[in-house]
Chain A
Amino acid sequence: MPAQLKADKNARLLQAMAEELKLPLLQIARQAELLQATPDKALLGSIETAASRAMWFVDSFLLSHQLSQQQSLILEPVTVSAALNDSAHMLDKLAKQYDSEIEVRLSGKYGPVMAHQEALRTAIVGLATTLITADSGEDCKRYVLAAHKSRGGVVTGVFCHNNTLSQSVFRQGKALYGQARQPLRNVTAHAGAGVFIADSLFTSMESRLRVARHHKLTGLAATLHPSYQLALV
C-alpha cells in the first residue's frame, strides 16, 4: 500500500477511535458522579470495565498502526480455538455489563492458521466489542466467536442474530469511517471503531474482513489460510 494511503487510513482510524473512546470515558465520568452520591460496588465494577475498554482501544490502535507500518508482516501458525477462547475471556465482563453472553463455537476439525496471534485476538475482541455495545435488542444477546472451514481456509469471526448487518452496510461503513460519526448507522449508534481496527488488522494479516454467515447467524469474519507447513509435520 502506498505510504500516503497508509497515512490517510491511519488518520481515519485514529479519528474513529477518538470518537469511540468518548463512550467508555463518558460511562466512567457519569458512574463516578453517581458513586459520589451512592456507594455501590456494582458501579465500581462497571467503571473498571469501561476503563479497561478505553485502554484496549488505545492499545489496539497502536498495534494496528505498528503492523500497518511493516512492509510485510511475518505470520506464524496460530491455533484458532486458543485465540477465540482468549478473546472470549477478555470479553466476558463487557458482555455481562450489556446483559449478553459470549460463546465459542468451533465447527469441524482443522489445524493452525497463518496469522499474527496478538492481531487475531485483538481483531476478534474489536468486532465483538462493537457488536456488544451496539446492543441491537433482545434477539441479539448471544455473541458467538466462531470458526468453520471453507474452501479458502478457516472462516473466523463474530456472529449473532443481527439482521441489520449486510455487505452493503459494511461497505458503506468502510467508506465513511473517520469522516462520519456513525459510519455503521444501521448497526450501531457509535463510531464502530472496533470493526475498522479489526479490518485493518486482518488486512495486515493478508486477509479481508467481510459479512459472513455461521449457520443461522450473521457476523463479520475473515478467511485465514491454513498452515500447510505444520500439517505436513
Chain B
Amino acid sequence: MAQVLLIEPDKILARSYVSGLEADGHIVHWCQKSETAIHAMDEHTIDLIIVELQLAEHNGVEFLHELRSYPEWDHIPVLLHSMLPKKQSGIDTFWHHFGIVGHLYKPQTTLAYLNQTVNRALLTTA
C-alpha cells in the first residue's frame, strides 16, 4: 500500500483513476492544480506522484521544477500520465533531472495498466 499523489485536472477522470488505484490498495490524494499539489505534498508522506502535464495556470513541467527544488522531495518517483504524447511533450530533456519513471499517454492507458505501472514503479524505487 502506498500514498499516491494524483494531479489530474478533470474531476470525472480523477474519480475513475482514484477508484482504480484505491481498488489496488493505494491511498490517493487528488489535486487539480500545481499549487494545491504542493500543499498536499506538505501534508502527506507521498510515495509516488502521477502528474498530467496539461494543467490550467501552472503546468506539469512548472510543478516538477518546483517539486525538485525541495531536497526532501527529490527522491519521490514521478509518473507522467498525460494527454500529450511523449514525443510532443518535450520532456525528454528533463527526464533524469525530474526523476521521471515513466510516461503514459492517457488515451491509450487503461486503469489496469496504470495500476500495473504504478506498482512496478513503487517496487523499483523502494
Contact = CB atoms under 8 A, between A and B. Distances in A.
Of the candidates B11, B13, B16, the one having the most CB atoms from chain A within 10 angstroms of its own CB is B16
B11 A181 contact: no
B98 interface: no
A36 B89 CA distance: 32
Q: Which 10 A-B pairs have the closest CB atoms?
A: A189-B9, A30-B16, A189-B56, A27-B12, A189-B54, A33-B111, A189-B55, A182-B54, A135-B11, A188-B56
B56 A181 contact: no
Given A50-B12, A164-B57, 8 more contacts: A22-B83, A31-B16, A33-B16, A33-B112, A133-B10, A136-B56, A164-B56, A189-B56
Contact of A99 (B10, B11, B13, B17): B11
A26 B32 contact: no
B9 A33 contact: no
A149 interface: no
B44 to A, nearest CB: 20
Contact-residue size bin, chain B (C-beta under 8 Å from the other chain): 20 to 34
B84 interface: yes
Interface of A: 22-23, 25-27, 29-31, 33-34, 37-38, 46, 50, 97-99, 133-137, 164, 181-182, 185-190
Of the candidates B9, B20, B56, the one having the most CB atoms from chain A within 10 angstroms of its own CB is B56
B19 interface: yes
Interface string B1-29: 00000000111110011011001000000
A34 B111 contact: yes
B68 interface: no
A27 B13 contact: yes
B12 A185 contact: no
A134 B16 contact: no
A134 B16 CA distance: 18
B69 interface: no
